[in-house]
Amino acid sequence: MDDIPDPITQLRAQIEELQRQLQENQMARNNVEDIEGNNHPRPEVQAAPQQAVNRVSVKLPPFWPDDVELWFAQVEAQFTVAQILQETTKFAYAVSQLEGRYAHEVKDIIKTPPAINPYNYLKKRTHSKTLSKC
């Protein structure tokens, strides 16, 4: 009876063999064999972004202090055409069109933009302030 292997011992041996095979398979997947048969780690491949970014040029009109509401309407039309949705991008474009004298009046927002909805905050502040005509 000593010649008959214990079922638990048999199962352990099978598990060890399967673990060894699994480890070999994982190593094979993570390595690449060169032309001479040497194994090297597989280089990491960055996954392609889910959505391609198509850049569309945005041409904003210069800031119109005489009609701020109309200016923002035109700016938002440009954002729609260019499919710009990010608040921070909108904010940056809008700020880039403010001449120095108008930018000075909202410099606190420009220097420290709000973390949430900076473009909308700039828009509200610009409307409420109705930047002085210099």
Backbone angles phi, psi at 65, to 5 degrees: -65, -20
Among 3-12, 91-100, 105-114, the least confident range: 3-12
d(CA 71, CA 76): 9
Q: DSSP of 68-108, one letter per residue?
A: HHHHHHHHHHHHHHTT---HHHHHHHHHHTS-HHHHGGGHH
Question: What's the whole-model pTM score?
Answer: 0.56
Among 33-37, 57-61, 97-101, the least confident range: 33-37
Q: 133 versus 117: which is more confidently predicted?
A: 117
**pLDDT of 32 over the 80 cut:** no
What separation in angstroms does the CA of 133 have from each of 23, 64, 69, 93, 129? 73, 10, 15, 21, 11
d(CA 97, CA 63): 6
The count of C-alpha atoms lying within 13 angstroms of the C-alpha of 73, restricted to the half-sphere facing its C-beta, is: 4
Quick: pLDDT tens for 42-94: 666 566 565 555 566 788 999 999 999 999 999 999 999 998 999 999 999 99
- pLDDT > 90: percent of the chain: 37
Place 116 in a pLDDT band, splitting at 50, 70 and 90: very high
Q: Name the residue ranges covered by the structural domains of the chain.
A: 68-129
Retrieve residue 21's tokens: 């095979």
DSSP-derived 3-state class of residue 109: helix
Q: 33 versus 14: which is more confidently predicted?
A: 14
